[in-house]
Amino acid sequence: MTEERPGFVTGIIDDLTYVYSDSFSPQEVQETVIGVWNRAKDAPIALHLPVLIRSRSRELLIARAQAEGRIPKRIPEILFICVRNEGRSQLAAALAEHLSGHRVHVRSAGTHPTGEVSPITVQALAERGISLDAPYPKPVHTSVVDAADVVVTMGVRQDEAAFPGKRYEHWDVPDPAGQPIEAVRDIRDDLQARVTRLLREILD
């Protein structure tokens, strides 16, 4: 028996099918949106679920289109990966987007994502004037890895042989999970220094 989906999922499918009609078939869009819905429907983010389903589906479609050459890539792509996508990779991605002035496109993901971003991560970023707009942890998807120019891992290792021709970096950064805010601030500042260096190398 086919599981009944909320009306907003059908609406997202229809909207994105129209928006990306030049790049994807209706079936490709539907498969992407339903895949995102199936992974996110039980997450503790019901209030923002329609927005997040649309955002994540759009992100995956754009990444796939860039990786397959269906649409041009106008700015460099950086992907930050950690284990749960609730701390380090969220911090690094938010800092990179903020510090670059949107001159790079940034994504983050986790090998074993949890249900929500750590509140202490949100707090540490807020102290720098950076807000996360309804964030939630996301799994590593082949499309976002394939679309990235730079892949930064923390606490995990990415199979570099599977996606050749990219720049890979592994940062030895402590996991902020369970740490007091003072320790998380140190992690944030360490990541800010690393991100600043990376952006300088990419953009200068």
Which tens digits make up the pLDDT trace of 63-88?
888 888 888 888 999 999 999 999 99
Q: How far apart are CA 31 and CA 12, in angstroms?
A: 12
Examine the pLDDT at 3 and tell me if it is beyond 80: no
- The residue count of the chain comes to 204
Token pair recorded at residue 16: 């994105």
Same topology for domains 1-72 and 75-204, yes or no? no
Superfamily (CATH H level) for 75-204: Response regulator (3.40.50.2300)
Sheet holding 167-170, edge to edge: 105-110, 77-82, 150-153, 167-170
Domain range annotation of the chain: 1-72, 75-204
Kindly report the CATH number that applies to the domain delimited by 1-72.
Answer: 1.10.8.1060
pLDDT in tens, 84-139: 999 999 999 999 999 999 899 999 999 998 878 889 999 999 999 998 865 678 88
Q: What is the pLDDT of residue 70?
A: 87
Encoded tokens for 190: 């360490």
Q: Answer whether 159's CB lies under 8 Å from 71's CB.
A: no
pLDDT at 176 (0 to 100): 94
Quick one: average pLDDT of 6-15? 89
pTM of the predicted model as reported, rounded to 2 decimal places: 0.78
